[in-house]
Structure 1
């Protein structure tokens, strides 16, 4: 990653951002004015539904707090006004169903400023929603906009640059243009798609005093799913998350003074979602990760500054996998926006030098986690230890390692040098029949987790229908079909614009235009006007 790019993305202050782990609200704008929409529609809907069922099922703070979705045909159209995702999976599914039902002929003209109008409208709706919720103490001061299009990303940026130069973008944290590329060939229906998750080509175009992130992605489920899964990462950059402490005099821990330490400021990132945060979340039996546990670090939410002091270097071949446990985390140079440019640059170069030197020496590092609480009332401190593994991707991998107190006795018999042919022959024959892969690709394995989570998310709704007495109806709540989406806040009309309208009622039978202005929101709309 280019160091200048890191700074341009992270040095911008985000007005009103108070919590380091506060996730931004999100606006997804889907441009369907292309013949490629025929191929993209189904894979986009599946990828979006898969990601959002994860977001709704994860215990702990919601990683996608607010979502709004627009489609652009010959004009922009809001399919999903800002919605709190975690408690609204049925509503999200209704929106995705509408997305699937859009015409797939790609007959809409590629003209006009529908995408730009959707950006403007989304920002206006976000401001309105923020004002509406601020009175209740719930604030979310930044929003990220992702535009999916089959048009040229650079041409899209030119349109945005020209039309948004006079628009107030103070609440816009990031604007991302994703150019969806057609596959060279169509895979069989059940073929595995193995587009690497991290190989999205990207470029940054600086306009409007900010960066527009331009990326390309193939129109298959896995690629789009991995794009949406970036929403699940922690986006807090107010402070670094980890200090990696190295003795400045070398790796001799006994001779290094505590005052002479090299401090690399880093961030933690999850490599995997913790399955314990997913199973049984519907009935509330799963608790969030205990970040105060002496044997557990947590990369999300980043509410603790960890300090790992390196105490020894280990030869890579001398570490047995059986003594490593827990989920792995990725360590990378911090992108904290509060650090000066010079400090960010030096810190990043130092981190890369450490990775390079460890690979050259074939070393791992053994590190001890410094105690979080230094209060005198803590007479006994339980330490946890971690193995740090280098990578040629300019990142480090960290995993917890067993200590004496946790280790169970075990004996390992020596491997026999010779085996009878009558035993060895069938084993060799069985092994010869296996398909051999050079590397393990987790994208080739799936365990029906998405189907399971969707069924779990539907269970509370089914119970509510079975026990209507437990539900207290809202005042003046009209009867609505369950497949209809319902707006939380009535849309606020923008400045006069001939193309900025919502879908007329006669466009499609499943449209959600009636839900945009429900009867119980009439009073709110009257006040806002």
Structure 2
């Protein structure tokens, strides 16, 4: 038992335990009067699930359910797997869109359904989990309920606080009430009493001291497509807090033997395009980026791949380029030396390239461009629509351009802002200062002076293993010969009634002698 615990100390769960999510949409007045908001809501939901259902690796959203709250809770999508289930989810979103326009209710009729919807969501989760436990292995045992409403946040929270006292909240992780900022004057409560952030991109969640004990969170969200997309994309992030992701190890202090260890969580800034279809449209490479391995050398030589064409969209100051949105393998662009190009055209092209690098370095600017998809010979109806990745060209004084991929809207994930640096205590500052004082200062970083041990690891990986299988095969052949000789011996006794001479046994032993001599050399 102690050995297993020791083994698990340096490990963590992949993506942690992601909760199942049930989305409740309050379709009562005045939501159906804001047609643009309804369109943005359904469009952004389709966007996030187009990614969640197609992204590789473990599921970032294991289960999802959708309910519409009109006069009564209407289950549009039972709790279902998200992976590879886009068609079913899209159908439920379409039903939601049609229902908002066709079944809009008055403000009085719609309020009483919120509590019923939360109760039905909890009951539905417990019913579904009884049948899904064998499939999930008990990893998905938490529920997160998200309520989208145009009603006043404090009023909705009060209703929930009174109702959850009689509800089974054993597996409920959080009830999140998202209130759209529509600029409506509420007659009972002041607008300033609504708890939450006014940030249009990243909505801060408030810890409410209510009867729910912090279970209910109120989020104020601007009613625009960008805020909605940012909110729904947060479902793609790892929400588990069961383990840290990274240890930063600093030298120990002079009077201490233990290293200074800072434990961190890692947050993705963008989605990895390699986990999505159309990866080749988000990267450039001399070889085909879409093929990880070639079938054979002959087939690879006979293949043709398109020439990349990147259309420049604008100029940007290098100081305004954020490193967190630049990703991928860096490539160096040089003026071509293709021998098929006419000599005069080749010389002119080289001069243009040098002039471009010179002007970019002089103005301290970079180029932002978009990949143009190659035109296929197929008809437009049969041609598959592909995305257009964006790239940045960074100039260098040696007359080259560094080409890297840059994030686009579909890949961007919500950014969680860090804490202020002003809050560090004097004790922590002194401890880190003493530890950093022992770290060597580099004048520059030379990768040629830093080895990862890759060569030796590859050599060890390619070494042939010891021929243990041959030894096992030899032992099996020996046992088979002994069985054959013993069967012959018993059959002779049955036929003649006398035991044969010992020569067959002697022969079998002679056959074993050369095989036994092989064993010491195999070890």
TM-score w.r.t. the length of structure 2 is 0.48
Which has the higher relative contact order, 1 or 2, with Cα contacts under 8 A spaced 6 or more apart?
A: 1
Bigger helix fraction: 2
TM-score w.r.t. the length of structure 1 is 0.48
